Amino acid sequence: MKNQASSELSLPSTAVGAQTPKKSEKRRSVFWNIRSDIPNSLYYLMVSFSIVIPLFAWSLLTYGGFVDRLFMPTPGSVLMRGFELIQNGEIFQDIMASLSRVAWGFLLSAALSIPLGLLIGSFKTMEGLFAPILGLMRYMPAAAFIPLIILWVGLDEPAKIVIIFLGSFFYNVLMVSDAVKFVPSDLLKVSYTLGASRWDVFSKVILPATLPNIIDTLRVNIAGAWNFVVVAELVAASSGLGYRILQAQRFLKTDEIFVGIIVIGLIGLGIDFLFKLLFRLVVPWAIDKA
């Protein structure tokens, strides 16, 4: 077993050794260029490493027999399990259940936090009224409210939506109110000299000026909401990806846990992509030219 390991590990090390003399030429290497472009080929090589190396390590550990397959399944078995779950359609039910919870919780959170954030960012009075209490509540972890939520709201769907709401609401408010402060004050001043009333400045200047930041805020914070759906489903649920993972653990189906986690990650990536797309469509003027 040990021999096998050393022979496999020695392979990459010689490959690196062969490359070093080439790099030590007079010209400075582009590899450690600070904040500047590198050739596309090098960039995509690094991208492929970021996928291949973890996959290689995983394969090595599992196929090489270094870990018990009960604790860590092989990539092949995870893939197989994934196909099975897709074929019998179970995974789609879980995805839909989790997605709808996030959608409701986060929509509710956005619908209340965006106006509140805009108010706090625009008016010192509103900042005084809301900022201290919201600042305190932000430091209370949403997960710590779960027992209270179960007592107050119960174990059903509303409880999960409340958890997701609490997990994203305070950060949304904070970041939206900050976005207002990034609007240059000269932009507001010039609007007054063009005849704008306070309401005009709020609705026709502050609102459109902060829209790119609002979309970005939602993109960042929906990642948190997506995490909380799993937490909520771990507590009490009979469907959803979190529930699927918990069930799989009970029956020691490690491969299914892996499938669940990977699907959660991929959906998160998809949501992120959708928000970036939304940004390009809604506020094309805010895309950097560079």
Partner 1 sequence: MFNILSNQLLAMTSIPELEINNLNKSFPTKDGELLVLENINMKVYKNEFACIVGASGCGKSTLLNIIAGLNQQTSGEILLEGRPVNGPGADRGMVFQNYTLYPWLTVAENIEFGLKLKGISSSERKERVDHYIEIVGLSKFAKSLPKTLSGGMKQRTAIARALANEPDILLMDEPFGALDAQTKGVLQEFMLQVWKQTQKTILMITHDVEEAVFLAQRIYVLSSRPGRIKAEVDIPLGVDRDFSVKRTELFQLVKQEVLDLLREETLKVISQEIS
Binding residues (CB under 8 A) for partner 1: these are 184, 186-187, 189-196, 200, 204-205, 208-209, 211, 283, 285-286, 289
| Spatial distance between the Cα atoms of 164 and 55, rounded to a whole number of angstroms | 32
Residue 265 burial (C-beta neighbours within 10 Å; 0-12, 13-18, 19+):
exposed
181 Cβ contact partners less than 8 Å away, ≥ 6 residues apart: 121
As measured in angstroms, the least distance from the Cβ of 220 to partner 1 is: 21
Give the integer Cα–Cα distance in Å for 180 and 169: 17
Strand, coil or helix: what is 134?
helix
If the CB atoms of residues 179 and 205 are measured against partner 1, the closer one turns out to be 205
Phi, psi of 66 (to 5 degrees): -80, -25
Distance of closest approach, residue 278 Cβ to partner 1, in angstroms: 15
C-beta closer to partner 1: residue 66 or 192: 192
CB of 272 to partner 1, least distance (A): 24
The contacts of residue 118 (CB under 8 Å, 6+ apart) are 176, 177, 180, 202, 206, 207, 210
What's the min distance (Å) between Cβ of 214 and partner 1?
A: 13
- Nearest approach, Cβ of residue 37 and partner 1 (Å): 21
Q: How far is the CB of 112 from partner 1 (least distance, A)?
A: 25
What are the tokens at 118?
A: 């805009």
Compare residues 236 and 286 and give the one whose CB is closer to partner 1: 286
Nearer to partner 1, 107 or 196 (CB): 196
Place of tokens 């050794």: 17
- Judged by beta carbon, residue 13 or residue 193, the one nearer partner 1 is 193
Q: How far apart are CA 24 and CA 209, in angstroms?
A: 50
Q: What share of the chain is helix, strand, coil (3-state, %, to 5)?
A: 80, 0, 20
Nearer to partner 1, 37 or 186 (CB): 186
Indicate the angle between helix axes 75-87 and 40-63, nearest 10 degrees: 90
Evaluated on CA atoms 23, 29, 31, 32, the torsion sign reads: positive
Closest distance of CB 73 from partner 1, Å: 50
CB of residue 194 to partner 1, shortest distance in Å: 4
* Nearer to partner 1 among residue 251 and residue 285 (C-beta): 285
Nearer residue to partner 1 within complex by CB, 72 or 211: 211
Alpha carbon distance 230, 233 (integer Å): 5
Find all residues with CB under 8 Å of 110, minimum gap 6, and list them.
172, 218
